[in-house]
């Protein structure tokens, strides 16, 4: 069984709409939707925003459901010039950009674990699935909705991701992150926390991030609409290929 997490229900609404044989469990102010998606047993849950909320959700998911992998999906802000709205980042290394326990540990180093980043599982299958989705993304996202967000030729990359409990929305902060963590491609608020829980429980983890903005002073898009009409349908298309 695959556990699928997002920070907002809008980001997985398309998956919920396709879920069959649904049963719902309520725990810790979360609803866990168990069912079948593309002939694969899954449990879907939205964690709410931030590292604490996502870590709590992931721990509950691992302990209470018979899952063998976790996939996180949702939006992120791009911090590299070559990334555009609608592009997809499949995560490789996950950093907590707001973690600083100096002088006891180096900056970004996770106390006790002594890792600066955590690595996702083998991404080959997920990357292939995403490339296949990109080749036919118009089957899942309407041309009208894509044009609203200036999405015309989306691409997929394998990249590092930075997580932190803050919304990055200035060029100054982007420049600072690029200097401190030069390999990171996008920023969000949950991935590295989920990666840490999965690491500690020896649970295979993957992450899909759809670029919704450039994490700068112009990051003023309609996030709810983007999550519901773009990111949610991206997740549907990618996972349909992944489970095939």
178 Cβ contact list (under 8 Å, min separation 6): 79, 80, 184
**123-143 in b/e burial notation, b at 16+ Cβ within 10 A?**
beebbebbebbbeebeebbee
For residues 49, 53, 55, 56, the Cα torsion angle rounded to the nearest 10 degrees is -150
Q: Is 182 left (phi over 0), alpha (psi -120 to 50) or beta?
A: alpha
> Residue 1's CB: how many other CB atoms inside 10 A?
12
Residue of 10, 11, 87, 188 marked catalytic: 11
> Residue 171's CB: how many other CB atoms inside 10 A?
13
Determine whether 222 is an active site residue.
Answer: no
Segments in 44-99 forming alpha helices (H): 51-64
What is the DSSP code (8-state) at residue 8?
A: S
Determine whether 213 is an active site residue.
Answer: yes
> Residue 60's CB: how many other CB atoms inside 10 A?
18
Residue of 10, 87, 109, 213 marked catalytic: 213
CA atoms of 140 and 235, how far apart (whole Å): 10
Question: Any idea which residues carry the catalytic annotation?
Answer: 11, 213
């Amino acid at each position: 069984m695959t556990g699928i997490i997002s920070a907002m229900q809008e980001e997985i609404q398309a998956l919920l709409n396709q879920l069959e044989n649904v049963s719902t469990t309520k725990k810790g102010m979360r609803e866990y939707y168990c069912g079948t998606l593309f002939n694969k047993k899954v449990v879907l849950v939205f964690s709410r925003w931030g590292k604490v909320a996502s870590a709590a959700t992931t721990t509950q998911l691992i302990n209470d459901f018979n899952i063998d992998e976790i996939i996180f999906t949702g939006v992120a802000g791009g911090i590299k010039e070559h990334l555009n709205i609608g592009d997809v980042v499949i995560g490789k290394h996950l950093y907590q950009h707001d973690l600083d326990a100096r002088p006891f540990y180096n900056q970004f180093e996770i106390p006790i674990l002594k890792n600066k980043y955590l690595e996702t599982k083998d991404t080959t299958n997920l990357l292939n699935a995403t490339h296949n989705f990109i080749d036919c993304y118009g089957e899942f996202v309407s041309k009208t909705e894509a044009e609203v967000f200036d999405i015309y030729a989306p691409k997929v990359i394998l990249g590092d991701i930075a997580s932190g409990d803050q919304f990055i929305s200035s060029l100054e902060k982007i420049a600072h992150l690029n200097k401190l963590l030069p390999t990171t491609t996008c920023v969000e608020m949950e991935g590295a926390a989920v990666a840490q829980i999965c690491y500690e429980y020896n649970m295979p983890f993957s992450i899909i991030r759809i670029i919704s903005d450039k994490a700068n002073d112009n990051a003023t898009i309609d996030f709810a609409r983007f999550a519901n009409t773009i990111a949610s349908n991206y997740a549907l298309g990618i996972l349909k290929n992944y489970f095939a």
